[in-house]
A and B are shown apart, each in its own frame.
Chain A
Amino acid sequence: MIEVRGLAKTFRVAVKEPGLKGSLKALVRRRSVARHAVLPTTFRVEEGEIVGLVGPNGAGKTTLVKMLAGIVHPSAGDASVLGYRPWERKDAFRRQIALLMGQKAQLWWDLPASDGFALLRDIYGVPRALHAARLDELSSLLEVGGLLDTPVRRLSLGERMKMELVAALLHGPKVVFLDEPTIGLDLSAQRAVREFLLRYRERHRPAMVLTSHYMEDIERLCSRLLLLREGQLIYDGPLARVAEQAGDLKVVRAHLKPEGVPAPEALRALLAPLGEVLEGGPAQVAVRVPRTRVAEVASRLLQVLPVADLAIEAEEIGTLIERLLARRQEGAAP
């Protein structure tokens, strides 16, 4: 459904020297430098797949999405989405894709969402009966049926995002680009959006590309991850394999009884040889260790400390991704 071959984007960005002298110079002649937003990138996305596009701010995620949605022209490389070159913006292509940008609304602020939906029906040429059926399905899945006639400006942020989702999906797109769909939402609204997207995917099987800074979005929705750093695709694979790539580490955490805990210095000296100390008591200690040493370290803690409770925790996906990004930055092999 989506095939990307060496796609890259370089922007020219104006630069100005600091101070008054720089401002005066810029009045006459403005200098610009090339900023590589996306370095040559290659990947594929299949039908029904939700791919998470992850990376720090400025990594090139949104630029990549904009190129695939046909908003921005690439500087090099090629891409095919549903058999079309996106930036040629053929109407047949645009009828089959959707783009939801969490920070940019498409509904009309001063009018009820239902007015915006009716306009979208005409824009995409959806027959009235089909439009009504889809609107009914989407609004009941998102539980916004009672808010359709309320002006968009009077809706809460979460309700607005749900309406934006309805607007993006009403024409039945085969490819959906979601750029930060849960940004700024409270936890329950985030959960509702995630659950909706999973159910929608089950029913309609579109290909979805999702960018998000919330690791829970990625963990719950995506089976595959594309990791970008400074415009470069540094990981493309199953989410489950991120742990292996980042180094398969576990956290051994022990809650301690109040009696018999060594003095802080002695406790530190005791923990240091075991692994990376995350917490050093007196009520709780936590040590990050390779999976192969978990039994040994747990047994050692039980021997030398008054342990009340012991837990062995997998690391959060966000931590693993951060470590993977940091390791690639240092030039370490995966």
Chain B
Amino acid sequence: MRPALFLHVASMSARRSLSYRADFWIQAVLTFAAELGLAWFLWAGMLAASGAPTLGGMGFEELVRYAVLVALVGKVVRGTELEGAIAQEIYEGGLSRYRVYPVSFFAFKYAQHLGSLLPSVAQLLVFGAAWVLLRGEAGLEGITPATAAGCVLALAVGNLLQFTLAWPIQGVAFWAENVWSLMVALRFVGSLLGGALLPLGVWPEALRPVLEALPFRYLYAFPVEVLTGHVGGAALVQGLCVALGWTALLGWAGAAVWRRGDRIYSGAGM
């Protein structure tokens, strides 16, 4: 797909995702408030119950900041366009309209996906700034222009990884009537093993190498670790390479699933 067309599709998708302003603000504010409140009470309770000053090497302030950042980052990585939308298009026959376009469906949907991230990016910036205002210098600890740039890179790679991770699963819709449960399972497993539910530091030491080798860390924990200065230099490059390796592998698997599915696609109904 030509870059100009890619940008055009992404821009249309962004405009569409911003066309429901009330929904955008209600969803943004309520979700942020809920996530902040949950993190606050959860980690305060956990620390009090354990009697230890830190959990997984993080104090209360850092745990709450991690929870807020990982929630905002998770939205940017996941977006809104992908939650079963492609599987739905296969199931309902909406895929047919893209098949007559002289463009790659994968590239078209990825451009749409990126465009739909704009509200999530806006939320990350607005609520990130709100957090800094609320917490003062403590909110900015470890964050520099260099770590922010590294985070943008990690987010871009994480986003592509998330898309290619969902791609073969959505392709299952060629055979199954509903892949919603698979998507939910992916989200839950990804959140658990990727550090969205708990910081990876709370997992047993022996499991850490496994978590680092799996793709899920690069969706959630990794961009936050890069932003807060816990990962940088060689570790940043190594992490990006692992994420890109998974992206290539999953891209290959997705292409194989879609090639086979393509032959049995019926366009919904006869």
Within 8 A of B (CB), among A85-117: 89, 91-92, 94-95, 97-99, 101, 104, 106, 108, 110-111, 115
The yes or no answer to B144 lying at the interface (CB within 8 A) is: no
Inter-chain CA distance A292–B19, complex, in Å, is: 67
Contact A11-B266, Cβ < 8 Å, known A111-B16, A119-B12 = yes
Range class of the A interface residue count? 35 or more
The reply to whether A110 and B8 form a contact with Cβ atoms under 8 Å apart is no
CB closest residue in chain B, given A105:
B97
CB distance from B227 to the nearest CB of A (A): 33
Inter-chain CA distance A122–B100, complex, in Å, is: 14
CB distance from B22 to the nearest CB of A (A): 14
Return the CB mask of A148-175 against B: 1 if under 8 Å, else 0: 0001000000000000000000000000
A94: contacting residue among B16, B93, B100, B263, CB under 8 A: B100
Write out the residue numbers on chain B whose beta carbons fall within 8 Å of the beta carbon of A110: 16, 19-20
CB distance from B159 to the nearest CB of A (A): 22
Inter-chain CA distance A322–B85, complex, in Å, is: 41
The reply to whether B96 and A123 form a contact with Cβ atoms under 8 Å apart is no
The reply to whether A101 and B263 form a contact with Cβ atoms under 8 Å apart is no
CB distance from A331 to the nearest CB of B (A): 24
The reply to whether A91 and B102 form a contact with Cβ atoms under 8 Å apart is yes
The reply to whether B263 and A11 form a contact with Cβ atoms under 8 Å apart is no
CB distance from B246 to the nearest CB of A (A): 29
A123: contacting residue among B19, B101, B264, B267, CB under 8 A: B101
Write out the residue numbers on chain B whose beta carbons fall within 8 Å of the beta carbon of A115: 12, 15
The reply to whether B265 and A71 form a contact with Cβ atoms under 8 Å apart is yes
The reply to whether B262 and A73 form a contact with Cβ atoms under 8 Å apart is yes
B16: contacting residue among A58, A66, A104, A108, CB under 8 A: A108
The reply to whether A119 and B8 form a contact with Cβ atoms under 8 Å apart is yes
Return the CB mask of B1-32 against A: 1 if under 8 Å, else 0: 01011001100100110011000000000000
Within 8 A of B (CB), among A237-277: none
Q: How many residues of B contact A (CB 8 A)?
A: 27
CB closest residue in chain B, given A98:
B100
The reply to whether A89 and B19 form a contact with Cβ atoms under 8 Å apart is no
Write out the residue numbers on chain A whose beta carbons fall within 8 Å of the beta carbon of B9: 119
B97: contacting residue among A60, A63, A92, A106, CB under 8 A: A106
The yes or no answer to A25 lying at the interface (CB within 8 A) is: no
Return the CB mask of A3-45 against B: 1 if under 8 Å, else 0: 0000000011000000000000000000000010100000000
The yes or no answer to B233 lying at the interface (CB within 8 A) is: no
Q: Which residues of B line the A interface, CB within 8 A?
A: 2, 4-5, 8-9, 12, 15-16, 19-20, 93-94, 96-97, 99-103, 262-267, 269-270
Q: Could you list 28 A-B pairs, sorted by A, with CB under 8 Å? A: A60-B270, A62-B269, A62-B270, A63-B266, A63-B267, A69-B99, A69-B100, A70-B100, A71-B99, A71-B100, A72-B266, A73-B262, A92-B102, A94-B101, A97-B100, A101-B97, A104-B96, A106-B97, A108-B12, A108-B16, A110-B16, A111-B12, A111-B19, A115-B12, A118-B8, A122-B8, A123-B5, A124-B102
CB closest residue in chain B, given A89:
B99
Contact A123-B103, Cβ < 8 Å, known A37-B270, A104-B96, A106-B97 = yes
Beyond A12-B264, A63-B266, 14 additional contacts (C-beta under 8 Å) are A35-B270, A62-B267, A72-B266, A73-B262, A89-B99, A92-B102, A94-B100, A98-B100, A104-B97, A106-B97, A111-B12, A118-B8, A119-B8, A119-B9
Inter-chain CA distance A129–B4, complex, in Å, is: 18
Write out the residue numbers on chain B whose beta carbons fall within 8 Å of the beta carbon of A104: 93-94, 96-97
A contact patch SS: mixed
Q: Which residues of A line the B interface, CB within 8 A?
A: 11-12, 35, 37, 58, 60, 62-63, 66, 69-73, 89, 91-92, 94-95, 97-99, 101, 104, 106, 108, 110-111, 115, 118-119, 122-124, 151
CB closest residue in chain A, given B4:
A122
Inter-chain CA distance A35–B269, complex, in Å, is: 12
The reply to whether A95 and B102 form a contact with Cβ atoms under 8 Å apart is yes
Inter-chain CA distance A73–B2, complex, in Å, is: 27
CB distance from B118 to the nearest CB of A (A): 14
Inter-chain CA distance A151–B20, complex, in Å, is: 13
Inter-chain CA distance A99–B93, complex, in Å, is: 14
Inter-chain CA distance A115–B262, complex, in Å, is: 30
Among A12, A71, A108, find the residue whose CB has the most chain B CB atoms closer than 10 A.
A71
CB closest residue in chain B, given A120:
B101
Inter-chain CA distance A72–B262, complex, in Å, is: 8
CB closest residue in chain A, given B1:
A123
Contact A71-B267, Cβ < 8 Å, known A115-B12, A122-B4 = yes
